[in-house]
Structure 1
Amino acid sequence: MNFMVGDFADKLRPLGKLDLLDGVTQKALQYLANEDVARTPTAARLQQAKALQTLAEVSRSRGAAADALQALNQAELLLLANVAAGQHDNDVAKNLGAVFFWQGQIAVDQGRLDEAERKLLAYQDETLRMNAIDPANPDAWIELSYARSSLGVLLQKKGEAEKAAALFEGSIALKQRALGERPKDQRLQAELANSFSWLASAKAAMGELQATTDLYKHQRAALEELQTAEPNASVWSYRLAIANKVVGGLLALQGRTDEAVASLNISEDGLRAILLKEPTNRIWQRERSITGLQTARILVSTGKTQAALEKIRASESSLVELQSIDKKSDEIPRGLAVSHYLQALIAFNNGDMQTAEVQANKSEEILNSIYEKYRTDRFVNAELAHTMLLKARILDRGGRRDASIDLCKTTISNLSSVSGRERDFRIADPWVRANICAGDAASVAHVVAFMKRIGYNDADYSAFVNQ
């Protein structure tokens, strides 16, 4: 059994083949769950706890959360028995921390966020103990950085962006310290890049547009180093392309459209290059299409309608083909919704209200079909709000002022459940527009002032607010 859930599992894990252990999981779990903890020797308790963690990993990978929790809870009992016996060394702390981490992740999966926070705080406590035992050990620093990142992700999910940001900053500092000792550790470099991204997302929720942009640039620089070290590794090229896409989008929000288009073009070029190696990769195909739509949005705002339409048609054609293959993805229909929105905006700008309404209705229909699943997601809320607000402008232009105001009020109602709507510029933009459209500009005057102060200068937003 030790071989099956230990050495053999270690060989299967990198291959993504832990499901091959599924047949022994139930029998092993029944055996270990019936062990008498009090009569089990200290060393055996530790070994059994490690085995139970692997069994939990297998169970979680196949969606059996109850089995995973049973294994983790038994592992916790075994390790706490060692602690009670005065055996709380680095190995016990590391394994107990891992148990708390996975218990926390399952609680997150199940929406039990307060329980998840308790478990992740316990995980952090164990990593602090590892650092107290061996303060010069980079592995202990890295484990503590993981604990702080995990807590930060959870707190951000709970809407506590400031606390999350502080944890991400602590995690980054620890990873940078570890990289000082292990400068060629590529896995650590990649994890540092991830941490820059998480801190950037927290800063965005706090309304710090320039800090958000700078942090994504730090992520991009870290990924550029990794790509330089391994130029043929598609994983770095893909992640760098996504970083360039994000940076381009943020530059556009600051009115820096030429820089934005340049960054997005680099992103598309990177995706195109790796697709030459693996042309059937649907994720890369999807991201290339979505990046093209982001570029098209900027082209529309700068009056380059024909170039925008070419981008939109190419992206939409690719997304339609992808949807025929992958009907489960929500990212593909979201991309199609953006395509219809942009076509509606172009038609609106050209005075073709009939086409504008048809395309806006298509966009709204797609987003409404997934809205319940993403009711608290800021990006989906923003996308739906922008579509509804464009519809309101179409109605107003057609002389249906009352219907336009009603639609703006519905948009306000939808956004009212989204946290950070007066600080996170991604959601503050449609929040401002909806209130102005509904005839209540005074209630968002302070948000307009805030957006100006942080340098938010999206072309369409600025034109709307200053009309």
Structure 2
Amino acid sequence: MAEFRYKAFVSYSWSDAKWGKWLLHAIETYRTPGALIGKDGQLGPVPARLHPLFKDREEEAAGASIGQAVEHALENSEFLIVICSPRSAQSKWVNRELAWFKTHRDPAKILALIVDGTPGSGDEHECFPAALTHRVAPDMRVTDEPVDAPLAADARISGDGKRRARLKLAAAMLGVGLDELVNRDDRRRTVRTRLMVGASLALATVMSGLAWAAVVARDEADRQRAESDGLVEFMLTDLREKLEPVGRLDALDVVGQRALKYYAGQQAGSLDADSLGRRSRALHLVGEVSNIRGDSAAGLGAFRQAAATTGELLARDPGNPQRIFDHAQSVYWVGYTAYERGEPKEAEAQFREYKRLADRLVAIDPGNTDWQLEVSYADSNLGTLLLGQGRYGEAEQSFANAQRIAEAIAAKDPADLTKQIDMAQAISWTAFALERQEKIEPALALYGREHAIYVAVLAKDPGNTTARSGTGTALIGIGRLETMRGNGAKALSAMQKAVDGSIALRSAEPGNTLWTQYEVKRRYELGIAALLFGRIDLARQQLSAARPLLGGLIAKDPTNDIWNLDLAAQLDELEVRLLAGSGRHGEAIIRADHAIALLGQRKDSTDPMMRAVYASVLLVRGDMHLRAGQRALAREDWRSVDRLTAGADADLPSSLLTLRYAAARRQGNAAAAAPIRQVLDRRGWRHPAYLRELRQVY
């Protein structure tokens, strides 16, 4: 019989993580009835325990490839248990894991646990993944041919319930009959109950004798606990404030983990409000460090635990402003991490709850500047979501409100550098919303103002990493706007300074994935601008430097859509253009295919910036197909550009209109191209990509 490292691999959607945690504990702690151990079952000798189980992506090292890690674990697992819900039915990871197990292992060893939804409904309530109920081809493609679903346990109250579902799965993995386990488990529960009653009576007698000794020891224990609580408070406040500005991730991580270890042995219900507050702050610190290091799954888990803790505190004292504030912070971080992971629905729900809590704070104490700042932050978060949906006017209003609040607060205390940075960041978002609406001059003025604020902060605090990174944000924005105006020298100079600043930040703190992400993005923007202004070597340098940096990010967190989809597709776009420009048409098509596959996986198809990347790649691939004599394929790519840039001309950003204009000209559709050109000319659009298109002859 084959030996397996894992008894089972548990496959589930991240949205069902609580069920995954329950199942892992339920199966790994299950003890086979003694009378059955060693007997011959359907699968051989019946084992005493069903462990270990593979904990999906959580168990592998952060640097491992998701494909290699999962496939290695599947190969070394005797069973596959899939947690079935409408979320897992739609999960590409769950379907991929099922497909791999079906094609490489015994499909009879697949077990299902229903936790939500309706089996076989075929609609949005369907809980069975397609790979579970359909034949999988040898190439791991899920076909349309239905097959019988495997054994399913239903953990819901309306189904088997948790206890019987656990026994169903255990019976299948042990190779014994379900009735045999149920009967033995009933007898074991009866015996255990009798023992507990007897033990409780004996314990009561002993405890009465120990009570007096406990009273004497209690005072000393309280004194020691007070000292420990004071040390934890120092670690989470004063010590953190000293370590955070200088980027000491290692020390910050130790602080958070030590604090959590201190509270790990204490039940949350037994903790007083102060202790719960410290526990939530420790979880926040662990979550933030996890995010920075690229482990967004661990970060989201920590923030959700923190939100549960602060929610408990708020429920105990619902009118307390500090409790409202603390819970608002937890809610924000859950939303932010979900946003980074490409989960816009959860992000929006959490950001709107954050805004509601911030408004409550201001309603309680309108003159409190801290509460006003929370409203400012909340408006900025909502503005970011609106930007991603292309609702630029609404985003500008949200950002302008946030900026107004931040400016008023900063004006009252010009010596407070944190308030100055808050103001600069609020200005930056307003500038970006104006940039998206192509209001070039006011956007330039705001970016310049933002940059000046950061320079002033750095003159007083040269080691402030937030201000150092902020200068890059302002400079890259200035570079994009100067590109729109056709000022190549100014655009490339500003962007190069932004890249240089990112290199310095990453070099000083290599483990900070945020600095690496910024550098990759800024190198992409510099590379695209360099191409537009004929600096081909500079563009190649940016691509060569950005590729390995992005590869490192993706290896750390294969669930982060910004890294795995958006940035990866943007670097592909830059490479496609470089390959096409150097005459390597076949390689350009292959790289374009890769970019298009990535962009097709994005959950949010409304973001105009990424639609422009998508359309740009399709446009170039069409050109390459035409050069290869494949006219039908070329025309299909250009029609796809039309579909991606659909909408009324007056409502679309000029970047998308330029691509639609280019596609219309390539298809020989002068009637469609002429009105687009009129709109762009009326706007005064002088982006180099548009001017180059005007010079092309087809």
Q: TM-score range by the shorter chain?
A: 0.7 to 0.9
- Percent identical: 18
Q: Specify whether residues 30 and 108 from structure 1 end up closer, same or farther in structure 2 by C-alpha distance, changes over 3 A only.
A: farther
**What's 1:141 paired with?**
372
> Does residue 244 of structure 1 match 2:480?
no
Q: In the alignment, what sits opposite 1:69?
A: 304
Partner of 1:180 in structure 2?
411
Residue number in structure 1 paired with 2:398? 167
Contact 1:261 1:295 survives alignment (8 Å): yes
Tell me which residue corresponds to 1:92. 323
Residue aligning to 1:190: 421
Distance, in Å, in 1 between the alignment partners of 2:519 and 2:360 is: 45
Deviation track 1:46-79 (CA, whole Å, cap 9, x = no partner) reads x355235325425645534456435423532431
From 79, 82, 99, give the equivalent of 2:317. Answer: 82
Partners of 1:48 and 1:75 within 8 A in 2: no
Q: Are residue 222 (structure 1) and residue 440 (structure 2) matched?
A: no
Number of the residue aligned with 2:636: 406
**Structure 1, residues 108-164: CA drift from partner, whole Å, max 9, x if none?**
467665565454344334433433444433323222212222232233345443332
Cα distance change of structure 1 residues 298 and 133 upon mapping to structure 2, 3 Å threshold: same
For 1:2 and 1:123, the matched residues in 2 are separated by 29
Give the direction of change, closer, same or farther, for the CA distance of 1:198–1:427 in structure 2 (3 Å limit). Answer: farther
Q: Summarize deviations over 1:159-187 as a string: whole Å, max 9, x none.
A: 44333221211111111111111112222
Do 1:249 and 1:294's aligned partners in 2 also have CA atoms closer than 8 Å?
A: no
Deviations 1:328-372 (A, max 9, x none): 465477446414413523x4xxxxxxx241453254145245324
The answer on whether the counterparts of 1:206 and 1:420 sit within 8 Å (CA) in structure 2 is: no
The verdict on how the C-alpha distance between 1:67 and 1:175 changes in structure 2, with shifts beyond 3 A counting, is: closer
Superposed CA offset, 1:235-272 (max 9, x none): 64554244323312222122233432443455466567
Higher helix fraction: Structure 1 or Structure 2?
A: 1
User: Is 1:254 equivalent to 2:482 in the alignment?
Assistant: no
1:310 aligns with 2:537: yes
Quote the Cα distance in structure 2 between the aligned partners of 1:119 and 1:189.
27
Pick which of 243-252 and 329-338 moved more: 329-338
What count of residue pairs does the alignment treat as equivalent? 438
Cα 1:336/1:120, change in 2 over 3 Å: closer
The aligned residue for residue 620 of structure 2 is 390
Code of the aligned partner of 1:360: A
> Equivalent residue for 1:7?
234
Q: Select between 241-250 and 53-62 the one with higher mean Cα deviation.
A: 53-62
* Residues 1:333 and 1:323: Cα distance change in structure 2 (over 3 Å): farther
**2:424 counterpart SS class:** helix
3-state secondary structure, aligned to 2:317? helix
3-state DSSP of counterpart to 2:533: helix
Query: Quick one: which of 344, 352, 365 aligns to 2:580?
Result: 344
Kindly report which structure 2 residues correspond to 1:31-110, keeping only aligned pairs within 5 A, or say none. Answer: 31-35=266-270, 44-45=272-273, 47=274, 49-57=276-284, 60-61=287-288, 62=290, 63-64=297-298, 65=300, 68-83=303-318, 88-105=319-336, 108=339
Aligned mates of 1:389, 1:342 — CA distance in 2: 14
Q: Assess, with a 3 A threshold, how the Cα gap between structure 1 residues 396 and 243 changes in structure 2: closer, same or farther.
A: same
**Most deviating of 141-150 and 203-212:** 203-212
Aligned-partner SS, 1:34: helix
Instruction: Tell me, in whole angstroms, the C-alpha distance in 2 between the residues paired with 1:116 and 1:420.
Output: 31
| Counterpart code for 1:73 | A
User: Aligned in 2, Cα 1:174/1:258: closer, same or farther, shift over 3 Å?
Assistant: same
Q: Do 2:410 and 2:423's aligned partners in 1 also have CA atoms closer than 8 Å? A: no
Query: How big is the shift at 1:214?
Result: 3.8
CA contact (8 A) 1:175 1:192 kept: yes
Choose which of 657, 661, 686 in structure 2 pairs with 1:428: 657
Q: State whether residues 259 and 279 of structure 2, in contact with CA within 8 Å, keep that contact through their aligned partners in structure 1.
A: no
Q: d(CA) in 2 for partners of 1:173 and 1:226?
A: 20
Distance in structure 2 (CA, Å) of the matches to 1:253 and 1:134: 45
Separation in 1, partners of 2:624, 2:540: 22
Post-superposition shift, 1:464?
A: 2.0
Is contact 2:650-2:679 (8 Å) kept? no
> Quick check: which one's strand share is greater?
2
Q: Mark the CA change 1:226 to 1:423 in structure 2 (over 3 Å): closer, same or farther.
A: farther
8 A contact 1:261–1:298 mirrored in 2 = no
Structure 1 residues 3 and 408 mapped into 2: Cα distance closer, same or farther (>3 Å)?
farther
What secondary structure, in the 3-state scheme, does the structure 2 residue paired with 1:183 have?
A: coil
Q: 2: distance between equivalents of 1:7 and 1:152?
A: 36
- For 1:455, which of 675, 684, 690 is the aligned residue? 684
| Residue number in structure 1 paired with 2:533 | 299
What do you get for the CA RMSD once the two structures are aligned?
4.2
Separation of aligned partners in 2, 1:176 and 1:210: 21
Per-residue CA deviation, residues 189-232 of structure 1 (Å, 9 max, x unaligned), is 22222222322333344454444444333333333333444456
Q: Residue 18 and residue 415 in structure 1: after superposition, are their counterparts in 2 closer, same or farther (change >3 A)?
A: farther
Report the structure number with the largest CA radius of gyration: 2
- Distance in 2 between residues matched to 1:445 and 1:239, nearest whole Å: 41
Q: Which residue of 2 aligns with 1:303?
A: none
Question: What letter corresponds to residue 580 of structure 2 in structure 1?
Answer: A
1:364 has 2:592 as partner: yes
List runs of 5+ in structure 1 lacking aligned partners. Answer: 301-307, 348-354
Worse overlay, 442-451 or 130-139: 442-451
The TM-score with structure 1 as length reference comes to 0.75
**Change over 3 Å in CA distance of 1:124–1:429 after alignment to 2:** same
Q: 1:198 to 1:446 in 2, by over 3 A?
A: farther
Distance 1:322 1:119 in 2: 31
Deviating more after overlay: 24-33 vs 404-413:
24-33
Q: Distance in 2 between matches of 1:436 and 1:396?
A: 14
